[in-house]
Amino acid sequence: MSTDTPPLKHLSAQGVTELIDDAFPQIHASGRVMEIEHIGPDTARVRMRLNDRNTRHGGTISGPAMFTLADFSIYAALIGRLGAPAIPAVTSNLNITFLMRPPPRDVIAETRLVRVGRRLAYAEVALYSDGGSEMIAHATGTYALAKPAEKQ
Amino acid sequence: MSTDTPPLKHLSAQGVTELIDDAFPQIHASGRVMEIEHIGPDTARVRMRLNDRNTRHGGTISGPAMFTLADFSIYAALIGRLGAPAIPAVTSNLNITFLMRPPPRDVIAETRLVRVGRRLAYAEVALYSDGGSEMIAHATGTYALAKPAEKQ
Amino acid sequence: MSTDTPPLKHLSAQGVTELIDDAFPQIHASGRVMEIEHIGPDTARVRMRLNDRNTRHGGTISGPAMFTLADFSIYAALIGRLGAPAIPAVTSNLNITFLMRPPPRDVIAETRLVRVGRRLAYAEVALYSDGGSEMIAHATGTYALAKPAEKQ
Amino acid sequence: MSTDTPPLKHLSAQGVTELIDDAFPQIHASGRVMEIEHIGPDTARVRMRLNDRNTRHGGTISGPAMFTLADFSIYAALIGRLGAPAIPAVTSNLNITFLMRPPPRDVIAETRLVRVGRRLAYAEVALYSDGGSEMIAHATGTYALAKPAEKQ
């Protein structure tokens, strides 16, 4: 990219967390499982803390928990980029491939927004075990953004 | 298909439920949310009961809850078809497309096993709101089956 | 569906073929490979004739050829349903899973439109070898429809 | 990754091109459209030259042509990494999302092997217009590798 392009403005991890907490106060009813660690111009890093509900018998992380993390991390990246107007965004497709059986540890999602259009956004997510270097799952997702007119 | 083909044997909904309850007793810790209503030779119908955890502010069903249902219903269909040897099967890919915002009602998953090979199985799932005729989400999934040798 | 619902109007296979031939006269430059055999209210059946370009060394059908067929059959189904306004529709996602190695024969695509919204349509496609009963590949696709205002 | 890890050995672009030309001499029957420009330890860059067959009326690149490029570039990366034993590898899933309408220019595929297991490999592909900085399409693919025993 040209170095003359001004850097994209984006919210901080703290700013995104506050917007989501305001909009969905109930999601932390059973404790804060998802922690937004970093937001960049088109990236998000989110940690899913290990708990009784996202582990499975035998000591691994459940697939639906990894889906939930991937989905949430794309949402966080979108709010980082677009701010409050992204709050009504909804997932339109999520495709997740499980690459290896993860150990029972926190899972880290590294999300990158590939394209943010007026109506659709597309992102990819790499999931890692905390401290591990091999990807445990990979997802791509498409989100439908609300039309500007609908927000008024 | 030829009418001379003997019908495939398969477990009943009750049989599949018992096998899963035995293998994963903890999944009903907070109440039985998933109910296997019917198992056919290569099909499963599973109901996800509405509760506080799968609904979202504003009265709709969360995307991760629908993913969980789709994933579980494929697993149930595999156990119906293969019996206990399918218990160690794991999801290798799940791709879900959300087609419309569902009302806050039970969700029904209709799963069809498209292909069951020695190592991989592929299925598709249609999700409906209870009593509704329009599909609210559609998923396809690939499962890795355990090698026969591993089961001995 | 209620039996009181009037049947959806749709074009015939001949009508869809003529619209596509008019819009894209060049696609048959090297012979007519894709033949639209049937159009229903939300279905299409398309045959891909075996030729030198879609076969692979060793006597099977190439993956890209099956992708091309799946993509084309969804397009044909959309034109069957929506008529000429669907001509500018473009593929936004196509996900194809190859289930078995097909023999060197014509391939039949059976497409079903799952949802046709104002801006997006979603369909699934089952591919069979001509005369075979086992699915050789399965695809799902999302198409972006042109906005009505753009058509004037 | 640790800096103590020895670099993975891999073939050169020239080596991969020769192996593919030997195995599939017919693919260049109508001219060399795909050119492998670079192979890294787990990457490939492949150029698809613009020609009459991959362009569409109105001056854009056809979706099936972009699928073909994505599929081929994963195959090239696998051969770069595994050598001749990857020749019998077959695509088991390919999911492609089209992000913008590309101009009528060469298309560049940047492929990264995410995971190469004994039986399955998973990769992602970013497609760009030659000289452009915005991704025009993104794909993920799963390949089935031949069992070692089958190669003897």
Q: How far is C123 from chain B (nearest CA, A)?
A: 10
Chain D residues close to A124, C-beta within 8 Å: 124, 138
Prediction ipTM score: 0.90
Cβ atoms of B119 and B145 within 8 Å: the answer is yes
Q: What is the pLDDT of residues C89-140, one digit of tens each?
A: 999 999 999 999 999 999 999 999 999 999 999 999 999 999 999 999 999 9
Provide the pLDDT confidence category of residue A53 given band limits of 50, 70 and 90: confident
**Most confidently predicted of D3-7, D25-29, D35-39:** D35-39
Q: What is the pLDDT of residues D68-98, one digit of tens each?
A: 999 999 999 999 999 999 999 999 999 999 9
Provide the pLDDT confidence category of residue C26 given band limits of 50, 70 and 90: confident
For D148, half-sphere exposure in the C-beta direction (CA atoms, 13 angstrom radius) is 3
Please report the DSSP string for chain C in residue order.
--TTSPPPP---HHHHHHHHHHH-GGGGTT---EEEEEE-SSEEEEEE---TTTEETTTEE-HHHHHHHHHHHHHHHHHHHH-GGGTT-EEEEEEEEE-SPPPSS-EEEEEEEEEE-SSEEEEEEEEEETT--SEEEEEEEEEEPPPGGGG-
**Using CA atoms, how far apart are residues A134 and A96, in angstroms rounded to an integer?**
16
Tokens of residue C46, six digits: 């398309």
Residue D95: closest CA among chain B residues belongs to which residue? B95
Average pLDDT of the residues in A23-52: 89
* Residue D136: partners with Cβ closer than 8 Å, 6 or more residues away: D66, D98, D99, D100, D101, D102, D107, D127, D128, D129
Provide the pLDDT for residue B5.
Answer: 58
Backbone angles phi, psi at A104, to 5 degrees: -75, 80
Range in A27-36, C76-85, C97-106, D105-114 with the lowest mean pLDDT: A27-36
Provide the pLDDT confidence category of residue D44 given band limits of 50, 70 and 90: very high
Q: Which of residues 14-43 of A touch C (CB under 8 A)?
A: none
Asked if the C-beta of D95 comes within 8 angstroms of chain C's C-beta atoms, the answer is yes
Most C-contacting residue of A92, A96, A114 (CB-CB within 10 A), to test interface:
A92
Provide the pLDDT for residue B1.
Answer: 42
**Using CA atoms, how far apart are residues A66 and A132, in angstroms rounded to an integer?**
16
Chain B residues close to C97, C-beta within 8 Å: 122, 140, 142
Tokens of residue D25, six digits: 């001499």
Asked if the C-beta of A138 comes within 8 angstroms of chain D's C-beta atoms, the answer is yes
pLDDT greater than 60 at residue B4 = no
What residue type is A58 in one-letter code? G
Contact yes or no for D94 and C90 at CB 8 A: no
Nearest by CB: C122 against B1, B99, B140: B99
Does an H or E element contain D101, and which? none
Asked if the C-beta of D142 comes within 8 angstroms of chain A's C-beta atoms, the answer is yes
* Residue D3: partners with Cβ closer than 8 Å, 6 or more residues away: none
Residue B95: closest CA among chain C residues belongs to which residue? C95
Contact yes or no for D142 and B95 at CB 8 A: no
Provide the pLDDT for residue C151.
Answer: 38
Q: Mean pLDDT of all residues in chain B?
A: 90
Tokens of residue C11, six digits: 């074009």
Nearest by CB: A1 against D114, D122, D133: D133
For A62, half-sphere exposure in the C-beta direction (CA atoms, 13 angstrom radius) is 21
Asked if the C-beta of C68 comes within 8 angstroms of chain D's C-beta atoms, the answer is yes
- Enter the pTM of the model: 0.92
Chain B residues close to D121, C-beta within 8 Å: none
Most C-contacting residue of B98, B127, B140 (CB-CB within 10 A), to test interface:
B140
Q: How many CB pairs under 8 A join A and C?
A: 7
Provide the pLDDT for residue C152.
Answer: 34
| CB atoms closer than 10 angstroms to residue A6 | 5
Share of chain C above pLDDT 70, in %: 88
Q: Mean pLDDT of all residues in chain C?
A: 90
Provide the pLDDT for residue A150.
Answer: 42
Share of chain B above pLDDT 90, in %: 76
Secondary structure (3-state) at A5: coil
pLDDT greater than 70 at residue B152 = no
Query: How would you list the strands of the sheet with B34-39, edge to edge?
Result: A34-39, A43-48, A107-116, A120-129, A135-144, A90-98, B90-98, B135-144, B120-129, B107-116, B43-48, B34-39
The β-bridge partners of C121 are C116, C143
Provide the pLDDT for residue C8.
Answer: 64
pLDDT greater than 90 at residue B142 = yes
pLDDT greater than 50 at residue D2 = no
8-state DSSP, D99: -
Q: How many CB pairs under 8 A join C and D?
A: 55
Average pLDDT of the residues in A77-99: 97
Does an H or E element contain B61, and which? strand B60-61
**Using CA atoms, how far apart are residues C95 and B93, in angstroms rounded to an integer?**
12
Secondary structure (3-state) at A149: helix
Contact yes or no for A140 and D142 at CB 8 A: no
Asked if the C-beta of C142 comes within 8 angstroms of chain A's C-beta atoms, the answer is yes
Asked if the C-beta of A95 comes within 8 angstroms of chain C's C-beta atoms, the answer is yes
Asked if the C-beta of C8 comes within 8 angstroms of chain B's C-beta atoms, the answer is no
Asked if the C-beta of B140 comes within 8 angstroms of chain D's C-beta atoms, the answer is no
Range in A30-39, B17-26, B50-59, B75-84 with the lowest mean pLDDT: B50-59
The set of chains that have 3 or more CB pairs under 8 A with B is: A, C, D
Q: How far is D6 from chain C (nearest CA, A)?
A: 35
Cβ atoms of D39 and D77 within 8 Å: the answer is yes
Average pLDDT of the residues in D11-27: 91
Provide the pLDDT confidence category of residue C150 given band limits of 50, 70 and 90: very low
Backbone angles phi, psi at A140, to 5 degrees: -125, 145
Chain D residues close to C92, C-beta within 8 Å: 97-98
What length does chain C have? 152
Contact yes or no for A97 and D1 at CB 8 A: no
Cβ atoms of C59 and C104 within 8 Å: the answer is yes
Q: Mean pLDDT of all residues in chain A?
A: 90
Provide the pLDDT for residue D113.
Answer: 98
**Burial bucket for residue B148 (CB in 10 Å: 0-12, 13-18, 19+):** exposed
Residue A28: closest CA among chain B residues belongs to which residue? B53
Share of chain D above pLDDT 70, in %: 88
Average pLDDT of the residues in B25-50: 90
Contact yes or no for B63 and A91 at CB 8 A: yes
Query: How would you list the strands of the sheet with D107-116, edge to edge?
Result: C34-39, C43-48, C107-116, C120-129, C135-144, C90-98, D90-98, D135-144, D120-129, D107-116, D43-48, D34-39
Chain B residues close to C95, C-beta within 8 Å: 95, 140
Backbone angles phi, psi at C79, to 5 degrees: -70, -35
Asked if the C-beta of B8 comes within 8 angstroms of chain C's C-beta atoms, the answer is no
